[in-house]
Amino acid sequence: MDFNQQNYGFTNEPRSLIFHSEEEQNLHVSKYMTKVYGWMFLALMVTALASQYVASSETLLNFILGNKLGFWVVLLGQLGLVFYMTARIDKISVSTATALFFTYAALNGLVFGVILMAYTPASLLTVFAITAGTFGAMSAIGYFTKADLTSLGQIMFFGLIGLIIASVVNFFLKSSALYWILSYVGVAVFMGLIAYDTQKIKAYALHENEEIRQKGAIMGALALYLDFINLFIYLLRFFGDRR
């Protein structure tokens, strides 16, 4: 589930640094975005390692699958971390935000490990490659486009809210037709959010406050991480082969 916020919880709007040339500004933004993608990649690695550990641990599998308490502890822990980071990003330190980010990635791996056990390794690799390619293309659009994607972001956010509500409803209806409609909508929503979040992150690269730039990199990496994970899950519905 994605929890994108307009300003990642910051109470002040970005104020731009002053550069001597456009080339200098572009280099600064490029280095900043490389850092964001680096954080995101490390988080994905943490999730993958945690998933593998869960899949090989009978104790953890029993804790998550064997009782409802274990499942809800992990799920609520994830939700709590994201909400806390968003609500307190102005107050917490950069090191705390970083630690919470990777804690979330590890907790997500506990749930992800259970999900991935249902699919063949070959199909998981295929879906990961498709997700990575799609992510790269949409992120490039968000990075290089001169158009303001704020309106797109708002549409995708409301689409996300509708997607969550409809998914809860379908949990009880168990409609196959609605399941596939939501799958297509989910792919479209997270593709749009990838482009929007990428453009939004660029704004924090130019913020004059160094601490906010660093926190913006962490929160931006979290947003892109969530976009990637959710897109992967929806694409699994189309291309994943169950064991």
* pLDDT attached to residue 78: 86
- For 152-162, the pLDDT digits (tens) are 999 999 999 99
Report d(CA 86, CA 80) in Å as an integer: 10
Average pLDDT over residues 71-76: 78
Which structural domain, as residue segments, surrounds residue 166?
A: 22-239
**Run of H or E including 134:** helix 121-144
pLDDT averaged over the chain?
A: 89
**Run of H or E including 4:** none
Average pLDDT over residues 229-237: 96
Task: Provide the number of structural domains found in the chain.
Answer: 1
Report d(CA 107, CA 112) in Å as an integer: 9
Asked whether residue 112 is domain-assigned, the answer is yes
Asked whether residue 76 is domain-assigned, the answer is yes
Asked whether residue 4 is domain-assigned, the answer is no
* pLDDT attached to residue 19: 66
Tokens of 68: 């409802």
Query: In percent, how much of the chain has pLDDT > 70?
Result: 91
pLDDT band at 131 (very low <50, low <70, confident <90, very high): very high
Helix ranges (H only) for 6-120 are: 22-55, 58-65, 68-88, 94-116
Beta carbons within 8 Å of 99's beta carbon, 6+ residues apart: none
Inter-CA distances, 19 with 16, 27, 84, 101, Å: 9, 10, 34, 31
Asked whether residue 162 is domain-assigned, the answer is yes
Asked whether residue 142 is domain-assigned, the answer is yes
Asked whether residue 75 is domain-assigned, the answer is yes
Is residue 147 classed as helix, strand or coil in its secondary structure? coil
